[in-house]
Every structure is written in structure tokens, then in C-alpha cells.
A and B are shown apart, each in its own frame.
Chain A
Amino acid sequence: MSLAAESAHAATGVHALLWLLLALPFGGALVLLVGAKRTDRWGHLLATVISATTFVLSVASFAKLLSYDEHGRKVVQHLFTYLPVGRFKVDVDLVLDPLSAAFILLVTGVGTLVHVYSIGYMEHDPQRRRFFAYLNLFLGSMLLLVLASNFVVLYVGWELVGVSSFLLIGFWHHKNSASTAAKKAFVTNRVGDVGLSIAVVLIFVTFGTVAFDEVFARAGALSAGTATGICLLLLLGACAKSAQFPLHVWLPDAMEGPTPASALIHAATMVTAGVYLIARANPLFAQSQTALNLVMAVGIITVLIGGVIACVQDDIKKVLAYSTISQIGYMFLGVGLGATAYSIGIFHLLTHGFFKALMFMGAGSVMHGVHDETDMRRMGGLSKAMPVTYWTFVAGWLAIIGMFPFAGFWSKDQILESAFAKGDYLLWALGLFGAGLTAFYMTRLMCMTFWGPSRVDKDVHPHESPSTMTLPLVVLAVLSLVGGFLLNTTTEGALTHWLEPVFGHTEHPHLPVHPIVLSVITLVVVVIGAYTAKVLYLDRPIERTAPEVVTPPTRWARKKLYFDSVYESVLMRPGQYLARALVFFDAKGIDSVVNGAAALVGGTSGRLRRLQTGYVRSYALGIAGGAALLVVGLVVVTAL
């Protein structure tokens, strides 16, 4: 047993109930899916109570963890042995440490708000029960992912959140667009899974174990090549799950799913699993600067790609989707900066979880109020009709563009600051530009949705959503306001300190200039971005249909920078041609050759044809021939 495992606390008290974090949601999903229509009346309530219970358990577990000495904040609960094959032994153990504790709070907290919100949002959907079953399935899967003690169980959770996502994207299965988007999400993630599974196998082949403790304890012995290999493969998996360049293409399409699912899975939690993976595997990444550089590169490229495309989207959910892609890019940038910035990446992940879930649910509330319209060109001036949605959305908007003192200000500022402190001025400048883009497209969204004159259809009467929907918005708005400040109360940062047992202690980076200078520069860029949007989208009228004649950059951005087109012509079409060619080869090549050979063995092809004329005769001949050969053979052999 390794040292790290010995220092872990036994799961006592409330920690003895950790297994319920999995059993309750999985059990809930099973009851609702197997119980089918019989659970229609109360299924959504059961699922919500289960989610709330997991949140209470998470809070209690966190409180108990807090009571331990800061170096002993780690609890392991052994459940059972999953795979015992020779040296390859995989246990299902749940590990509660500062990092997983932060995640279970986020997942169950936002998860519960989304459950409550969905009671209202899905009220008139005949399939509401199935929706809640999938939400519970997701909750259990995500908790398994973050509580796993080894790479294989993490991979199991990783895939199960993927399948929950698949089920939720394709929830309205009668729509072709929904089922196509679901398939695209799953298959793109499978490309990442190739990376992740090879990484896990490579880890086993290298270390002889897949347990986090043992692998990380010996990570220092890795050769640079192996370390880089493992980390790049992990990165491939992370890029798929977190919708990062070049595998980001599935997330915008995933908006086909019901909006609460987008809020929970495709904004606040699941898509950040890639960041979690890299942060969790930080001892491995510490062995490869090449890999960290690539993480940063992926991050900054994605910040810009997502930001640019978001600027031209007219669908409110698509803006938020590209914004999510872009914001996760910041998180990758954060964890890619290494040692000092892991906890800052997680910091941005948490604050983003608050304000992005808020804005997705706000968008859902808007859609609810305008008869499921998603085109912002047919909105405008909604601030009066839906005041709660509006004011909470304002909190989200100020948080994401990084306005002081909202949550995003603290976390995004620190990422840029770390890049600057590290001397990566180019990264810093590009990140700063990304912040300007963020301010632009989010202000554009506010202008087109809430401000200015109304452009809604005449027969649509915008109205505020029921309290089950607005209450979660209020909670998240408060978190978007104070979340950043709370987690960052001291100069070192409360969160950074909390996560030290996982990421190690690092000195605050030395800055050549006073941090206030950097903050002011960022705020100026943000204000410029926001003001430009105001000039273009508030001071000028907006047409109800998107203009056809646009500048080339707008056209490129509308084509999503051509990623889908390129993948289709480079991968999909040639793949289909290859498969069709193989089908031809199978029928005309192999089958003919083997049939021909069989005919030769049988004597002549004419005889084979005759065999095919009557099955009784051919059967009789075959058996008789076999038996005769058998007897002859035996006689010959015995006679020898």
C-alpha cells in the first residue's frame, strides 16, 4: 500500500454514506426508466428529492472534510473489486479530497437547481419522467467520474456522462436534427475516448497499476517521452469531452437537447470534465512541459475560435454554446500554465459553472416566455415582460464579461495575470483579446434579447416564467455576484489554499507590474468590447432576418470557420467510400474466391450447383462423405 493511501481517513460518519451519492441517482434513474408510465405522476419529484439529498450529503461530507487537519483531508471508501485479472486489479473506491469535494458540491448544487427548474420547464412535456430519469443518470455518472480513485473507474464515469449527454441531446427523438446531434456528440467523444483509453492502457503498461495514488507517487520516474505520450493522449480525451479545438464541433449541435440539460451538462459540469482530468493528472503533466504547452495552445486557440463564432450567432443557445467552448478554453489555459494556475483553472470552472448555468436557464426562461423562439432577431425588449429573468441574466452577463466585483472578474483576471507573470505576453494578449470578444458577444446578446425595441411575433405575448424556474435563477445570480469574491477572500485565495493538498503549495507569482494595472487594462478592453456591441446592436436597428450581404470574416464565422465542412470532406465521405468499396470487395472478391475454392474441393462447380438444388441431398452427401472419410481414416491409421 502506498503512503498516500495510508494517510487517507477511513470513511466514518457521514463519509460512510458516500456510496449513496452513486446509489441514489442511479437507483432513481432505474426506478423511473423501469417503472415507466407508472411513475409519471411523481417521477420528477422523486428525482428532484434524490438530487437534493445528494447535495445535502455533499455539503455534510465537505463540512466533515473541513474538520480534518489540512494535510489529512482525504477519505477513501472501498465499495467492491471491479476487475480482478492477474496484476490488473481495478477497485471501485470513492475518494473524497479537496478537488473532488469541490466538484461534488458544484455538480449536486447546480444539479439540484436544474432539477427544480426542470419541473417547471418540462411541465407540459409528456416525456418529463424520462427527462428526469436521464438527469439522475447523469448526476450519478458525473459523481462517479469525480469520485473515482483510478483511471479505469474515471473512464467508466466519463463514458456514462457521455451516454447521458447522448440521451439528453436526442431527448426529442422524433426530430432528425436532435438524433443526428446526439450521434455526432457520441461519436466525436469516442474519438477522444480512443486517446483516453490508450492513455489508460499505457499507464497500466508503464506503472503496472491504474490507481491515482500509486501512479502519481511514481510519476517522477517517467521518461520524458512516455510522459508526453500519456499526457497528449489524455489531452485528446479532454478535448473531446470539453469541446476544445479541434473536437469542439459537437457542442453547438448539442443545443438540440432541452435547455436545462444544456445548462447542467453542456455548460456547468460535464463539459468541464476535461479540465478536471488534466487537473487530476497534474503530477503526470508536471513531467512534460511539451504537453502543458499544448494544453495552453489548445486553450487559447479555443478561446478565440469560440469567441469569434459566438459574435455572429443569432440563436441565443448557440451564442451560449460557443461562449462555453471559449470559456473552457480559458480553463485549459489556466491548467496548462501549470503549477501556479491549476487552482485558478478550477476557480474559473466553478464561477463559470454558476454564471453559465444561470444564463442557460435564463435563456430557457426566455424561450419559455416567447413560445420556444430561439432566434434573438425575433426577441428584443424583453426586460420589462420578464423582470426576474432579466435581472438575474444581468448578473450572469456582468459575471462572464468579468466586471468587478462579479465572479468572472476574479477568475478570468487571475488566469490572465498568471500568463503575464509567466512571461507569456502573447498568451496574455490573446487572452485579453478573448476577454474583449466575450464582452462583445455577450453584450450583443443582451441588446438583442432584453434591450431595444421588441421584435417578437405579434401573436406572442412574452411572460415571466413560474417560480420553480425563477428561484434557481435567483440563487445562481447571487452566486455569480459573490462567488468569485468568496472563493478569493485572501490574497492567496481561499480556493487555492483549499486545493493545495492536491496541487501542492506554490508561491504567488511575481508580477513585473502591480496587479491592479493588469486588472484595469482588462476592464478597459472589456468596456471597449461591450461598447462596440452597444453601438452596433442597440443604437442601430436590428433586422428580423439576418442580412445576406456581410463582410468575409462574418461569413467565415457563420460557417463556423469551416470545421464541419472540412471534417465531412476529409473524414466522413472518404470513410463511406472506403466502406462501400469493402462491401464490393467482400461480395465480389472474397466470397467468389472462397466459393470457387469450395467448388474445386467439391470437384467441379457444376457439382456445387447441383448441391444447391436440394438441401436434403446435399446434406446427405456431406454427412456421408464425412463419415466415410472418418472410417477410412481410422481404418488406415489402425492398420498402420
Chain B
Amino acid sequence: MAQAIVDDEVELGARVAGGPVPVLRKGMAEWLFLVPALIFFIGYQVWPIVRVLWLSFTNFQLLSDKPAQWVGFDNYAQALHDPLMWASLGRAALFTIMFLPGTIILPLLLAIFVDRVANQRLATLYRVILLIPAVIPSTLIFVLWKWMYNYQSGPINHLLVNVFGLFTIQNAPQWLGGTPLTLPAIAIMEVWWGLGYHTIFFIAGLAAIPKDMPDAARIDGANEWQVFWHVTRPQLAPIMMILVVLRFGSAMAVIEEYLIFGGFNRASPTYTWTIFMYDQAFKTGLWRQGYAASIGMIGAIAMMIVMAGLIWIFRPKG
């Protein structure tokens, strides 16, 4: 307090003297604390993006000893004319369409149910059970679901063939390995994996809604659906927007699961733009990293356009 008074007096004095107020000096300490984070952000986030952007305008091939040469938009033109670019983007979009509703509808329903559980211990137990998949490392998740989906020895097909008799050993579903079922199978795995995590988002959102609002709506004669649609849903809109935008980004950018479940088969539904980019950068020919960079930039720009649309659609209204 005393220091603030002294500072103010200094400032007043400076103004009286007619000189500029050294506002920046007052905030310098705060900026200094940001420097380490800024260095990390610029070094590990911004610089790689700038570097990839530059690469995308060159014909750089990592295995070649020729220096990279500027080619302008040639890589972009080639990528945009490559049917595989559009096919791979489409596959990623298809997966995202399968996956996204699972990050909203099911977690929201579960959050509403858990929120209405009167017994707090039971509610806590439900939350813990929901969060178990979220704490399992990704490697174990993939091993688990590869076994679950195994055509010949997995428990899902065992149930379908040997227990329920819905299929035979010859026509049982082929869940992975590049079949049409592969993307839905991975989507189910991802929804299960993130279910608890997404539910917690909505539980937190529900806790923030003042209880008198839905009560008032019920007194006014609204049924449960009307209470949800007109009271609860708008209050949860910011959370929905965050989840949709975040999950859209992560779904479009999936690569690990596709590498593990689908490999580099170009006809596979898992050969998305991320695999295409990786294939060009580290597997094919002389490793055309300039071309791969352009694939990455096209995918990123496409995602940004859609994200902007999603933010606008899910923006909190009123």
C-alpha cells in the first residue's frame, strides 16, 4: 500500500513534469516471468510450424544430398491434384464425424445421470469408474483393443460366433486391418477411452448452473426435456464448444492409432492425411519432406476453417 502510494506519487510527479509515464516499466516484472514460457512456446511450438511452412515451399528430400530449392506452390498444387490427398482427408473427416458425437451425447447423458445421484459416495464411485480408462496409458489401450477386436481369438468375435451364434468363423466381422469396420472400431475405442474425461467436463458444467433456474422452469410448467433444452443446454454451451473444437482437432490429427491398426496400406480407411504425410516424409522414395510439409499445411488449414465454423456454431448465444 505504501509502495503503491509512492509509485503513484512518482507517476503524478512525472505527469506534472510533462514527461511520458513509464507504464511499461511498471509491468516489466510480469513480462519477465513469462519469458521462460515464451521461449518454450516459440522454440517448440512456433518455430517448428514456421520451419514446416518453409519446407512446404521447397523440394527438400531428406535422403538426398542435394540442397533444398524453392519451388513456390508446386508442392501444394501437386498435393491438391493428388486423389490420395482428398481421399485421405475424407477418411479423417469420416472418422471425426463418427467420433465427435461420442464426445458430446454420451458424456452429457452420463453427466446428467451422475449429477442426479443423491448419494454422494455413490456419485463419487461412478466418477472414479468412469475415469479409469482415462488413466490407462495409450500403449495398453491399443494392446487391449487389438486383442478385443482380433478376428480369430478376440472376445468380441468369440461372443458373436461361439456364444450368440450370430456369425460363423468364416463370416465373423473383421474389425481391424483396413476393413470398412476399422474406423468405427477405432471410434468406439476412442469414445470409451475418453468417456470419463468428457463426462467430468459436463459434470463440472452442471455444477455451475444455479439450481434455481431449472427449479423455476419446472414451477413454470416445463417438462424435463424442456428444462434440459432451454435451461441446461444453453448453460453448457461453452463446455460443448470447448469439447467439440478440441476433439475435432485431435480426431482429425490422429496418427498413432492408424499406424498401429492400419499401417501404410493406401486403400485402408486408416490411411488418412496424417499417415499420407508421414509416409511421404519417412517412408517413400527419398523422403519428400517438402511435399509432406505441404500435405500437413493443407490438412491444418482445412482443420482451421472447420474449427472456425464450429466455434461460430457452438458460440454461446445471448
Same complex for A and B? Answer: no
A: residues with CB less than 8 A from B are none
B: residues with CB less than 8 A from A are none
